[in-house]
Structure 1
Amino acid sequence: MVDWETAVSIGSRIAGDGPAVGAAEARDVVAELREGADRSTALVREFTGLHAAERTAPVLVVDRPGWVRANAEAFSTIIEPLAAKLSEKKGPPTGLSKTVGSKITGAEVGFLLGFLGGKVLGQFDPFAEPAGRLLLVAPNIVHVERELEADPHDFRLWVCLHEETHRVQFTAVPWMRDHLFAEIGRLIDAVKPDAIPDDLGRRISEMVRGEGSLLDLMSTPEQKEVVDRLTGVMSLLEGHADVVMDGVGPTVIPSVKQIRKRFNERRKGVGVLDKMLRRLLGLDQKMAQYRDGAGFVRAVVDKAGMDGFNAVWERPEHLPTKTEIHDPAVWVTRVLG
């Protein structure tokens, strides 16, 4: 259903190479990011109380095409089962329609990956076997630190703190990875091929001029329930990482307040096209996850301390719902009594 090599090829071209960096500087950046990730493990452990064995998931410093390929692999893990379900509506493609269709779909996925590949600073990829992997996108980190006129050493460690927190979340909480996989499986199981509108293209065009995202368009009532649970989980993970990077930051990053202020402005997006694509791809919702999740974490820690907050990692039933993210007191009452 998807020509993944086409997706990688187009995505890599759209993402581009990034800022001009000499060979010596590039080697220094890569070395500093690897060192920053290693250094962050102990800093995250001390701040959060979460204990993750070091190097249980590899740290990869990649360029933009490397990030595109890594995410094409992750996307294929999710999309192939979904594609099989959608083929139930019209039957599996054959011959020319299969070849052309897979390349068209590959081009669409490539456009998505290319757009994101020029923006993402790093991510934890839980889909990579056996225990996930941490990706740090060196050219994007250099691009943003220059754009923000930030101290390069401070900014690189700041990014590493955020991304290493995600690695710790998935490796110190052994059930988190399987729980996320199960929720995605439920989302795919809830897809009803007959519910996919025949005028999908027209509706997407209308959506670009209005509100909402592709996720809103594709969600059935059953899917919305899963999406709400996933929103709660992702808000927790992103907000927790933001709280950690800002909590640890002042002790090791002198310019952290300046970096945070400028970075928050950048997260709003620049230009009409950029803002339109962010809305279409649901990235506005992603930005809300950082804000709302961080608010939830800070509120619970203020009320119950870090030890009390860490009850959230004990079992899946302790994860906050989408509603509880916006009303932390409800979570405190339900989980901590």
Structure 2
Amino acid sequence: MIDWDLAVSLASRLAGEGPRVPRDRAVAAVAELRADADRSTGLVRDFTGLEAADHGAPVLVVDRPGWIQANADGFRRIIDPLADRITSAKPPSGLTRAVGSRITGAEVGGLLGFLAGKVLGQFDPFADPAGRLLLVAPNVVAVEDELGVDPTDFRLWVCLHEETHRVQFTAVPWMREHLFSEIENLSATVRPDAAIDETLKRLTETVRTVRRDGVGQGGLLDLLGSPEQKAVLDRVTGMMSLLEGHADVVMDGVGPQVIPSVRRIRASFDRRRQGVGTLDRVLRRLLGLDAKMAQYRDGAAFVRGVVDTVGMERFNAVWERPEHLPTKAELLDHGAWIRRVL
């Protein structure tokens, strides 16, 4: 259903290579990111109390095409089994398959091409056997120049956030499989015999809603989801908000000890997260990235609220089992989570 080669090729052309810098600066940036990722493991462990083995998942410093290929591989792992279910129930004609796969390939390529210029780093949980940490060197260099911040401080700050995600997925033994199971649950909510017709119907309704009211908080994915899918998405949102908020708390908590300019970096970066232009803001909203920013804010407020009330050691009960993950409602009321879990 998706021409993945076309998606990767188009995304790479759209994203470009990033800033042109002298070779010695590029080499130094890559080396520093690798070193900072290794350094961050112990810093995150000491701050959080989570025990993750050193080098439990590989660290890859990549360019934009490398990030695109990695995410296309991850998307493919999620989407292809669902696509097989749909096409086995209603096999498309040869022409439909050929044309449709290129259209969807172009759509995925456009999405990846836009994001490839924005992402600084990412933990990829889909890579076997235990995931991998990706750091996008051209984007890190571009943003540190854009913000006018100290490069050494900024690179370590970015690595602290992304390394926290690596620790979350490697120190918490059930986290990766739990995410996979929720993806399978989402796939199971799709009825193959009606998937295409229902998707077209909801897409039409979405376009009308966008024209009339603007896009909702969750972007197109939220508008297209059925009630069953939204129930799964709510659980995933709760989990991802916790992971993102926890990483933000860690990077800002560890930061003052090792990053002299952390306050200036945080203030400048938060302004950047709002989007830099009209087109950028529109695309962020359509893709649900506004909701992503809310995940950082709500998740961080939840983590700080619990830690301030009961301390980090008792907060770590959240990692004991999937049932301890906060619900979307509890993210906005940390006291409710404390009463339920602790």
TM-score (norm. length: structure 1): 0.97
> Per the alignment, in what secondary structure is the counterpart of residue 136 of structure 1?
strand
Residue of structure 2 in register with 1:65 after alignment = 65
Equivalent residues of 1:208, 1:280 under 8 A apart: no
Equivalent residue for 2:269, pick from 249, 260, 263: 263
Residue 230 (structure 1) shift: 0.5
Name the SS of the counterpart of 1:268 in structure 2: coil
C-alpha spacing 1:145/1:208, structure 2 compared with 1 (3 Å): farther
**For 1:306 and 1:20, how far apart are their aligned partners in 2?**
43
Cα contact 1:131–1:171 (8 A) shared by 2: yes
Choose which of 248, 257, 274 in structure 2 pairs with 1:251. Answer: 257
For 1:179, give the aligned amino acid: H
Gaps of 5+ in 2: none
* Aligned partner letter, 2:200: D
Are the aligned partners of 2:235 and 2:327 in contact in 1 as well (CA < 8 Å)? yes
Post-superposition offset of 1:138: 0.4
Deviation for aligned residue 1:85: 3.3
Residue 310 (structure 2) aligns with: 304
Choose 14-23 or 133-142, whichever is displaced more.
14-23
SS in 2 for 1:224: helix
Q: Verify the 8 A CA contact 2:206 2:224 in the aligned structure 1.
A: no
Corresponding residue for residue 321 of structure 1 = 327
Kindly tell me: are residues 10 and 251 of structure 1, through their superposed partners in 2, closer, same or farther at Cα, counting changes over 3 Å? Answer: same
Specify the code of the residue in structure 1 equivalent to 2:253.
Answer: G
Aligned-pair RMSD on alpha carbons? Answer: 1.3
Match of 2:290 in 1: 284
Whole-angstrom distance in 2 between the partners of 1:203 and 1:88: 26
Q: Who is 2:7 aligned against?
A: 7
**How far off its partner does 1:21 sit?**
1.4
Between the aligned partners of 1:61 and 1:335, the Cα distance in structure 2 is 38
2:136 aligned with 1:132, yes or no? no
In 2, Cα distance between equivalents of 1:140 and 1:7: 20
CA distance in 2, matches of 1:23, 1:103: 37
The residue type equivalent to 2:135 in the other structure is L
| Cα distance change on mapping 1:207 and 1:64 into 2, 3 Å | farther
The CA distance in 2 between the partners of 1:95 and 1:285, in whole Å, is 38
Aligned residue among 257, 270, 280 for 1:274: 280
Shift of the 204–16 alpha-carbon distance from structure 1 to 2, 3 Å rule, reads farther
- What amino acid sits opposite 1:4 in the alignment? W
- 1:171-208 per-residue CA deviation (whole Å, 9 max, x = no partner) reads 00010000000011101111234262434554444454
1:242 aligns with 2:248: yes
- 1:93 CA displacement: 2.3
- Look up the SS of the partner of 2:260 in the other structure: coil
Aligned to 2:142: 143
Deviation at 1:92, TM superposition (A): 2.0
Residue 15 of structure 1 aligns to which amino acid in structure 2? Answer: A
Question: For residues 191-206 of structure 1, what are the structure 2 equivalents within 5 Å?
Answer: 191-193=190-192, 194=194, 196-199=198-201, 201-206=203-208
2:276 maps to amino acid: V
Query: Can you list the C-alpha shifts for 1:84-140, whole angstroms capped at 9, x where unaligned?
Result: 233366x22232221221111111000000000000000000000000000000000
Residue segments in structure 1 that go unaligned for 5+ positions in a row: none
- Cα pair 2:244 2:296 within 8 Å, conserved: yes
TM-score where L is the length of structure 2: 0.95
2:232 corresponds, among 207, 218, 226, to: 226
Deviation per CA, 1:56-78: give whole Å up to 9, x if none: 10000000010000000000011
Task: Please state if 1:76 is matched with 2:80.
Answer: no
Q: Which residue number in structure 1 is paired with residue 215 of structure 2?
A: 211
Are residues 56 and 326 of structure 1, via their aligned partners in 2, closer, same or farther at CA, if it must alter by over 3 Å? same
Name the % identity.
68
CA distance in 2, matches of 1:185, 1:300: 31
1:157 aligns with 2:156: yes
Answer whether contact 1:134 1:167 (CA < 8 A) is retained. Answer: yes
Cα distance in 2, alignment partners of residues 113 and 93 from structure 1: 26
Instruction: Tell me what 1:21 maps to.
Output: 21
**Partner SS state of residue 198, structure 1:** helix
Aligned match of 2:184: 185
SS in structure 2 of the partner of residue 250 of structure 1: helix
Comparing 213-222 and 146-155, the one that deviates more: 213-222
Indicate the SS of the match to 2:18: coil
Give the stretch that moved more between structures: 141-150 or 186-195: 186-195
